[in-house]
Amino acid sequence: MSLAEATRTAARRRPFLLAALRADVVNYTAAAGFLAAEVGADDTDAVSTALSRFADELPTYETESRDVRVTMRSGLDPTDEDDEEAVLSVGGTGFAPNSGSLTGIVVTGNVDAPSLASVLSRLLTEDVEVVAAAVAESLVVVVERRDGANAVRFVEDALDAVPK
């Protein structure tokens, strides 16, 4: 594998770097130093050049706002996946209202996998622990009750700028 191919592969393994390359906000020397050992290069200038050329080929970073409605369901507890009142069911476990300590953030409207990725990334940066999450016809994120109100704001914010 050539140095250019190895550099592209290493950058693709790191979504944050790929997004930064698309947004043209990368210090190429620092990024090259970060990737040099992985791509097997002693010359960070060559890695920097490879990153710059790769960035030129990537689509420009753009976002779009999603038309959604965000609501909060408090008092969730883990339950059987078959519970008809479950707000979310995944991997054999459901989360249904039952005076529990969890809160479900329910998003309806224009949601998809990129929406979920944006929401999870935002909650991660805000140190909100996600207990469970899924997207299908709606997007649901389960968090601790104490994080519920802030999580609603973070989810709304994340869905205002979903990367394309």
Residue range 122-137: average pLDDT? 97
Give the model's pLDDT for residue 151. 98
Question: CA 22 to CA 138: how far, in whole Å?
Answer: 29
**Is 10 strand, coil or helix?**
helix
pLDDT given at position 91: 86
Q: 137-160 b/e with 16+ CB inside 10 Å = b?
A: ebbbbbbeeebbeebbebbbebbe
Ordered domains of the chain (ranges, CATH)? 3-57 (no CATH), 64-163 (3.30.70.260)
Which of 39-43, 57-61, 71-75, 107-111 is least confident?
39-43
Residue pLDDT, tens place only, 13-26: 999 999 999 999 99
Report the chain's terminal Cα–Cα distance, integer Å: 30
Tens of pLDDT along 63-116?
A: 999 999 999 999 999 998 778 889 999 888 999 999 999 999 999 999 999 999
Q: What is the pLDDT of residue 155?
A: 98
Q: 3-class SS at 109?
A: strand
Which two three-digit tokens encode residue 38? 């992985």
Residue 1: is its pLDDT beyond 90?
A: no
128 by DSSP, 3-state: which? coil
Select from 153, 89, 108 the least CA-distant residue to 126. 153
pLDDT band at 157 (very low <50, low <70, confident <90, very high): very high
Task: Give pLDDT, residue 82.
Answer: 79
In 27-104, which ranges are continuous DSSP H helix?
28-39, 44-57
Q: pLDDT averaged over the chain?
A: 95
Q: What is the pTM of this model?
A: 0.86
